[in-house]
Structure 1
């Protein structure tokens, strides 16, 4: 009987793996292409400026909301967090497909720098936003074809998911504690009042990903090192690039256990939330220059991040 159960379990796992492989085969290249101009290519929508309060920023907000409303099959609740500060209008977007007693939050910022004019921010952080949209499509697929797969395998409470697109990460004039991360500070204050901060199991922030430079992505916090190690195992399983990005054995930054890089995670970290910061260091050479454009993106790296994060989110929600 035990052998039969093991065989059935293995068959189910294989069937699921084949189903996921088919999903990625049908969606990955079309959704995350540097050159493809089709409407299904999520990445191409980020090939332009997205300065807070601008026409282009509003168009990006509309595109993201329309994607979750019209392209995906399930009911993703939307939280639009709009506010004005320092003479600029900012809007965070939060999408939740499933609620729980606790949450996994994955996030990136969609705004671009004001200066230099024409800054596209392909890796900062257009590529990460496109990956978030792809992960949403993957989770939506599971909710459509096999919702029970997202039920926890072990006894415990259901973990919910929130996907966040931050506005106002970049400074308006000069980066500093009062001129940066406008959106994340506002949402953290709002969620603290609503009691949501205390229910976040893990906050994953993606930034500066997708460059042709294969820079390492370090583990920065003790509380999330096991999640970093789990993502590293997924990277080993997927392969796909000559350089391995994540190395759990390298612990020089995790031993510091301090936000050495300022980013949208800071207000959540200061509130005691466990942070997994997926950002390369040193930063790629195109950072905050006009060369941060689609010519300097690596399509294979972006698609690999999409596969890694899809599997990571699925595993987290199940365990």
Structure 2
């Protein structure tokens, strides 16, 4: 009973914060994540290009991401995880807010695109998700700059954030355990060696988002409570039919990974994973039709708002209080 009352009190305070912060989204979404606004501030349209590992376009996207974080006010720290594999140069980009935090919430997506078919853009796979990561970072930057939390480099004990842009998720030829997940496998191994892997409170992976709304299942029992919190936020913030259904346990019954993606090396290392990917996949998955014409503005806006507010909620330590 006491536990329930504490949860309701925390939820009431958080909901008030959500209401206060909606003005931010209403003002900045059309500017930063628009499918039509081609201003220099747009974070979405620059991803409308191929981004194969080591290519000129990949380097341009990396430069765009770095320039974006250089323009933020909070002390985001960059970790470049560069390596060579099969004659190609890969580079994961990791940005951390709260460098001395005792635990972290990781929000991630892959920025590379498939080598074949030639000209593949991968609007949902995962250009839109990368743009959403940038928007969420801007939101967190504004949130903490406005004095909404004590998160700082001088304090320990807070929940910090790591925003990860993976390179080399896609296979170069045909998907196998060796020809896929290049960036996530490399970064997971590095973090295991550094002992950082044990500090990850929650690992959230975005993929195939931004097109027609489709069911996003709860894939892991270990993070079903986090899935429930995200679903509760969805129902609070949006009137449209929900994509998240906490009562759907169809995938949970499998009790293990059912989709190969960048979360796999971290899941195998014992990290709690929240995988935000629709099932079934979009009909145009891995085809040239996965282009910006198939993105939907409402869907992009929804995930930008939902994840921004969810991360602020997670940083308050909900999981540790329940």
Normalized against structure 2, the TM-score is what? Answer: 0.90
8 Å CA contact 2:82, 2:92 repeated in 1 = yes
Equivalent of 2:260, from 259, 262, 265?
262
User: In 2 relative to 1, CA 134–176 (structure 1 residues): closer, same or farther, beyond 3 Å?
Assistant: same
Q: Could you tell me how far apart the structure 2 residues matched to 1:188 and 1:45 are?
A: 28
Q: Could you tell me how far apart the structure 1 residues matched to 2:43 and 2:268 are?
A: 33
8 Å CA contact 2:204, 2:274 repeated in 1 = yes
Aligned residue number for residue 6 of structure 1: none
Cα deviation, residue 148, structure 1: 2.5
User: In 2 relative to 1, CA 274–18 (structure 1 residues): closer, same or farther, beyond 3 Å?
Assistant: closer
| Residue ranges of structure 1 left out of the alignment (5+ in a row) | 1-8
Aligned residue number for residue 229 of structure 2: 230
Cα deviation, residue 87, structure 1: 1.1
Q: Could you tell me how far apart the structure 1 residues matched to 2:264 and 2:13 are?
A: 41
SS at match of 1:79: strand
Aligned residue number for residue 79 of structure 1: 79
Q: Could you tell me how far apart the structure 2 residues matched to 1:230 and 1:81 are?
A: 32
Cα deviation, residue 194, structure 1: 0.5
Mapping of residues 188-207 of structure 1, within 5 Å? 188-207=188-207
Cα deviation, residue 101, structure 1: 0.7
Aligned residue number for residue 60 of structure 1: 61
Aligned residue number for residue 159 of structure 1: 159
Q: Could you tell me how far apart the structure 2 residues matched to 1:182 and 1:279 are?
A: 19
Question: What do the CA deviations read for 1:54-110 (whole angstroms, capped 9, x no partner)?
Answer: 00000000100110012x111100000110001111000000111311111110000
SS at match of 1:148: coil
User: In 2 relative to 1, CA 248–33 (structure 1 residues): closer, same or farther, beyond 3 Å?
Assistant: same
8 Å CA contact 2:30, 2:37 repeated in 1 = no
Cα deviation, residue 193, structure 1: 0.6
Cα deviation, residue 19, structure 1: 4.1
Question: What do the CA deviations read for 1:153-192 (whole angstroms, capped 9, x no partner)?
Answer: xxx9311110000000000000010000000000000000
Residues paired across the two proteins, number? 304
Aligned residue number for residue 146 of structure 1: 147
SS at match of 2:315: helix
Question: What do the CA deviations read for 1:6-63 (whole angstroms, capped 9, x no partner)?
Answer: xxx9998787445412211211111111122111111101100000000000000010
Aligned residue number for residue 114 of structure 2: 113
SS at match of 2:149: helix
Aligned residue number for residue 6 of structure 2: none
Larger mean Cα displacement after TM superposition, 247-256 or 11-20: 11-20
Q: Could you tell me how far apart the structure 1 residues matched to 2:249 and 2:11 are?
A: 35
| Residue ranges of structure 2 left out of the alignment (5+ in a row) | 1-9, 318-322
Q: CA RMSD in A?
A: 1.9
